[in-house]
């Protein structure tokens, strides 16, 4: 028991970390999708796009200020142009102190076609 229990606890902690990381990746993906959806309606309003990303992340339980948001292109978008919203989040692992992988960078991006009017 003394030999197997530490390995079993390490395995369980790894499974929990993987589940938490996957859940946060889904949240980041949904937040990027919400930002792209807002960008398709209001392509030249980066404040509104970032607010949509941060609101979706906050509604799902992440710290909205910890998300790095990139909008490409950043301005001058016309209807029919492609606009991409990317979101990054640093995820802190449980096993970080044991195996040296303190955090993982989760990132996702979504692109949509802008069909909103020029502002």
Write out pLDDT tens, residues 54-97. Answer: 999 999 999 999 999 999 987 788 888 899 999 999 998 887 76
Q: How confident is the model at residue 119 (pLDDT cuts 50, 70, 90)?
A: low
Domain coordinates of the chain in residue numbers?
Answer: 4-113
CA distance 70 to 104: 18
User: What contacts 57, CB < 8 A, 6 or more positions away?
Assistant: 27, 28, 31, 63, 64, 67, 87, 89
CA distance 47 to 61: 21
CA distance 85 to 19: 25
User: What is the reported pTM?
Assistant: 0.86
Q: How confident is the model at residue 118 (pLDDT cuts 50, 70, 90)?
A: low
């Amino acid at each position: 028991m003394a030999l197997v229990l530490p390995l079993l606890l390490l395995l369980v902690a790894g499974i929990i970390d993987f589940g938490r990381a996957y859940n946060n990746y889904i949240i980041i993906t949904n937040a990027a999708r919400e930002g792209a959806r807002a960008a398709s309606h209001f392509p030249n309003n980066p404040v509104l796009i970032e607010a949509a990303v941060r609101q979706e992340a906050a509604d799902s339980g992440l710290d909205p200020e910890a998300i790095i948001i990139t909008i490409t292109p950043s301005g001058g978008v016309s209807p029919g142009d492609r606009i991409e919203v990317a979101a990054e989040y640093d995820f802190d692992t449980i096993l970080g102190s044991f195996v040296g992988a303190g955090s993982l960078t989760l990132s996702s991006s979504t692109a949509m076609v802008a069909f909103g009017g020029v502002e």
